[in-house]
Amino acid sequence: MEFNRLTIHELQKKLRDGSLTSVEITESVYRRIASVEEKVHSYITLMEESAIWQAREADRRIKEGKAGELTGIPIALKDILCTEGVRTTCGSRILENFIPPYDATVVSKLKDAGAVLVGKTNMDEFAMGSSTETSWFGITKNPWDLERIPGGSSGGSAAAVAADECIASLGTDTGGSIRQPAALCGVVGMKPTYGRVSRFGMVAFASSLDQIGPVTKDVEDCAIMMNVISGHDINESTSVPAEVPDYTKFISRDIRGWTVGIPGEYFIEGIDPEIKAAADETIKILEGLGAKCLEISLPHTEYCVAVYYIIAPSEASSNLARYDGVRYGFRTRDGENLLDMYKKTRSSGFGAEVKRRIMLGTHSLSSGYYDAYYKKASQVRALIRDDFDKAFKKCDVILTPTTPAPAFRIGEKLDDPLQMYLFDIFTLSTNLAGIPGISVPCGYTKSGLPIGVQFMANHFEEGKLLQIASAYEKNSTIERRRPNL
């Protein structure tokens, strides 16, 4: 049986009524990996031995009646999350051999909840990219069309869920890196509110924007994962000490009387007609469920890409200064003196896109340019946040397409960084404003590529996102397909 195709909530029932064991589920996941991984390449590192051990342990606990929320469920982790004793590369040569001495808080939480950890998924180097093409460990392919990119930077996490190489996964989202690959791979992905999930043990990219979140096969699974990973962490000073609701309670509630904001700025010319048609169809279904759709304006939308690509590289250039070949990671052997060793280590340890962003960020922060770039961008960021504050006075949630187009071909945008950056145009704003967003599958193009719709809500209103996403999912008329691998 292909148990690896099932969702967390389906497997939970079977584990509890004793009709299935975690070892059987875990073995089915690794059988799937053995048969499709060569084509898709979702993973950098597999953890089969410890996973089987965790599965046996899970089965024992279930028998004893001590099952936690994820006991026995195989989950994959983006290789940006530190795992004690298991190599954590961040998709980079510079961390090729880095074995963290501790677990990220989200990894501890998954372990405490009983999860079986399948492996570490592929990603753009240091999460900088929209296509998972910049990984030192090779390209991940889109399971729906192996000639296309899976999106990025959490492309491995999204492809692994879409290809049934795990039941669910964790990704990270700095400018769309969970929602965008989820949309392109036909799965659900959520970026929680900034501060909702602890970033302790996540390799930092842009610290004011980074957030960890789930990639799942359906919305209910997303709620289950959010219950496990959310909450305040004493080790992380930006994690917010706010109460965490039971997110599964928001599943199956109706949305009658809700107001859904439709920002005109996200339905611009140049957006793929099939994407626009799918979003329009989603709006009709929501109206059929008793929601009122209201045209709203987010007037500073057109500035998001410029603001993001100043702020994120600036923070990255500072965060990545720590990779100097001294305390951990890769070092070149031929450094003549300390300065020479730093330069040679960093130049051969980082790939082209990471170096480009370090250069962009260093320039933006350098003396004489700081006011023109970083300060200016941070001021416009305030205006972008204010746009959302005003919008959420008029509506419960905002609906937009997740991406302007379906998955593009491998190599298509690699030599044109600006075109690659513009592909994130609809997902960057939530990170800048710190609000949560979710992408849910809403159809397919004629050529069979998945399309995603994005919902955004005000700070700490993940529950609303799960409620509308699940109401839509249950009532949408799109057929459920699987990639043919």
- Binding to another protein in span 235-274, by CB under 8 A: 237-238, 240
Residues 311-370 that bind another protein (CB under 8 A): 317, 321, 324-331, 335-344, 346-347, 350, 355-356, 358-360, 362-363, 366
For the question of residue 131 being annotated catalytic, the response is: no
Which position among 78, 111, 120, 464 bears the catalytic label? 78
**Under rule CB under 8 A, residue 191 binds another protein:** no
Residue 287: CB atoms within 10 A of its CB come to 12
Q: Provide the b/e sequence for 119-129 (b: ≥16 CB within 10 Å).
A: bbbbbbbbbbb
CB of 451 to another protein, least distance (A): 27
- Size of the chain, expressed as the number of residues it contains: 485
For the question of residue 207 being annotated catalytic, the response is: no
CB of 98 to another protein, least distance (A): 6
CB of 351 within 8 A of CB of 133?
no
Residues 449-468 that bind another protein (CB under 8 A): 459
Q: Which residue, 124 or 221, has its beta carbon nearer to another protein?
A: 124
For the question of residue 13 being annotated catalytic, the response is: no
DSSP annotation of 145? B
Options 20, 432, 440, 466; binder of another protein; rule CB under 8 A: 432
CB of 467 to another protein, least distance (A): 22
- N-term to C-term CA, the chain: 17
**Under rule CB under 8 A, residue 120 binds another protein:** no
CB of 357 within 8 A of CB of 312?
yes
**Under rule CB under 8 A, residue 418 binds another protein:** yes
**Residue 364 neighbours by CB under 8 Å, 6+ apart:** 310, 313, 314, 317, 370, 373, 374, 377
Which position among 28, 153, 198, 230 bears the catalytic label? 153
Q: Which residue, 13 or 322, has its beta carbon nearer to another protein?
A: 322
CB of 256 to another protein, least distance (A): 31
**Under rule CB under 8 A, residue 297 binds another protein:** no
Name the one range near another protein by CB under 8 A: 111-119, 145-153, 171-179, 295-303: 295-303
Q: Provide the b/e sequence for 29-60 (b: ≥16 CB within 10 Å).
A: bbebbeebbeebbbbbbbbeebbbebbbebbe
**Under rule CB under 8 A, residue 68 binds another protein:** no
Task: Identify how many contiguous H helices and E strands the chain contains and give both numbers.
Answer: 15, 11
Residues 86-115 that bind another protein (CB under 8 A): 97-102
Residue 481: CB atoms within 10 A of its CB come to 12
**Under rule CB under 8 A, residue 390 binds another protein:** no
Which position among 92, 135, 177, 230 bears the catalytic label? 177
Q: Which residue, 281 or 386, has its beta carbon nearer to another protein?
A: 386
**Under rule CB under 8 A, residue 389 binds another protein:** no
**Residue 143 neighbours by CB under 8 Å, 6+ apart:** 36, 40, 150, 159, 162, 163, 185, 483, 485
Options 250, 309, 423, 455; binder of another protein; rule CB under 8 A: 309
**Residue 151 neighbours by CB under 8 Å, 6+ apart:** 130, 131, 132, 142, 158, 180, 181, 182, 183, 184, 185, 403, 407
Q: Which residues are catalytic?
A: 78, 153, 177
